[in-house]
Chain A
Amino acid sequence: MPSVGLIACLLLAAALFVVGLYGAISHDSAVGILMSLEIMAIAVSINLMAFARFAAPAEQAALWFFAVFLMVITAAELGIGLALVVAIYRRARTSDVDDLHELRG
């Protein structure tokens, strides 16, 4: 049975990260941007777990903990981000980041 190595996992994670990055910089809906950020977080977590699969057993706990910590940070980020989207929508009646240019000089 042919098996997949570390390189394939890292390439997949890189592709996923790049797709998320493209979405994050080209969407104009704030919810779309936050979803793209989550795709990037998923890519990082695949990366971490791929490294954990090939790391020495003593180093795996650190990678697992990074993955758990990443999950906490992503959940906090998306919770606050989506709450801000709701708050901005209340005030400006839009969730388009292109329409929010009150601070532009």
Chain B
Amino acid sequence: MLNLIAFSILAFATLAGALNCVTADNVVHAAYWLLACAVAAAGLVWFLGAEYIAVMQLLVYAGAVGILVVFTVMVTHRSYADAQRPLKVSVPSLAITAALFALLSFGILSSQQLASLTRPTTPMQLADFGAQLFSPTDGWTLAFEIASLVLTVALIAAVWWSRDTDGNADEDADEDGDGDD
């Protein structure tokens, strides 16, 4: 089971990465903090017994999304001054988020059902997950196929949107190259 020291370190790293990502002045620094947050979260998931999901999260959240964000920043925030985005502290949004956190913690801490779940069960093996995923009777084969279709459509749409459509693009259109990320 997740021991306290590993959990504390990883939880601290995840939260610190998230906080720094949200409050960083520079968009590029925020992207790197997001990377740290995603890697630490993948570590947490690993310790929660889901090694496969952890590796997938490392690949998708840290790898793919990190590269995508850095590429977009490169294309859209050309100058150093452009990338400086100090966070505006606004009292209403702080109040909303604090209220939501209070509500969530109250719900978590007061639930009898959650408190009764104290004993960790044996984590599922990857082979069992695969077998259940594609089980002909109660599997998720259709949902899996829909998910892959969604991903394909989304990637084609992303290329389509970011492509240079009007040939009369302005002077720095060449620097963009294809523009597809």
Map CB proximity to A onto B50-69 as digits: 1 under 8 Å, 0 otherwise: 10110011001100110011
Task: Using CB atoms and an 8 Å cutoff, list the residues of chain A in contact with chain B.
Answer: 1-12, 14-23, 25-29, 31-32, 34-36, 38-39, 41-42, 45-46, 49-50, 52-57, 60-61, 64-65, 67-69, 71-80, 82-87, 89-90, 95
Smallest CB separation, B22 vs chain A (Å): 4
Smallest CB separation, A59 vs chain B (Å): 9
The count of chain B contact residues (Cβ–Cβ below 8 Å) is 91
| Inter-chain pairs besides A34-B69, A86-B72, 11 sampled, C-beta below 8 Å | A3-B2, A14-B105, A25-B96, A28-B85, A52-B49, A65-B133, A73-B150, A74-B65, A79-B68, A82-B181, A87-B161
- Known A49-B50, A79-B154, A82-B181; contact A54-B121, beta-carbon cutoff 8 A: yes
Q: Is there an interface contact between A16 and B181, defined as CB atoms closer than 8 Å?
A: no
Contact among A21, A29, A71 for B56, CB-based, below 8 A: A71
Complex Cα–Cα for A17 and B7 (A): 18
Residues of B within 8 A of A21 (CB): 96-97, 100
Residues of A within 8 A of B60 (CB): 71, 74-75
- Known A23-B21, A69-B147; contact A18-B104, beta-carbon cutoff 8 A: yes
Residues of A within 8 A of B49 (CB): 49, 52-53
Chain A interface helix/strand/loop/mixed: helix
B81 lies within 8 A of chain A by Cβ: no
Complex Cα–Cα for A74 and B41 (A): 15
- Known A10-B108, A18-B104; contact A55-B121, beta-carbon cutoff 8 A: yes
Smallest CB separation, B16 vs chain A (Å): 10
Contact among A35, A41, A57, A86 for B179, CB-based, below 8 A: A86
Contact among A32, A67, A84 for B53, CB-based, below 8 A: A67
Complex Cα–Cα for A87 and B64 (A): 20
- Known A18-B97, A19-B19; contact A7-B108, beta-carbon cutoff 8 A: yes
Minimum CB distance partner of B90 in chain A: A26
Q: Is there an interface contact between B161 and A32, defined as CB atoms closer than 8 Å?
A: no
CB<8 Å pairs between A and B, sample of 29: A4-B7, A9-B7, A9-B48, A12-B11, A19-B15, A21-B96, A25-B96, A29-B27, A36-B21, A38-B34, A42-B18, A49-B44, A49-B49, A53-B49, A54-B120, A57-B124, A60-B124, A72-B150, A75-B60, A75-B151, A76-B154, A76-B155, A78-B65, A80-B157, A83-B157, A83-B162, A83-B180, A85-B72, A85-B76
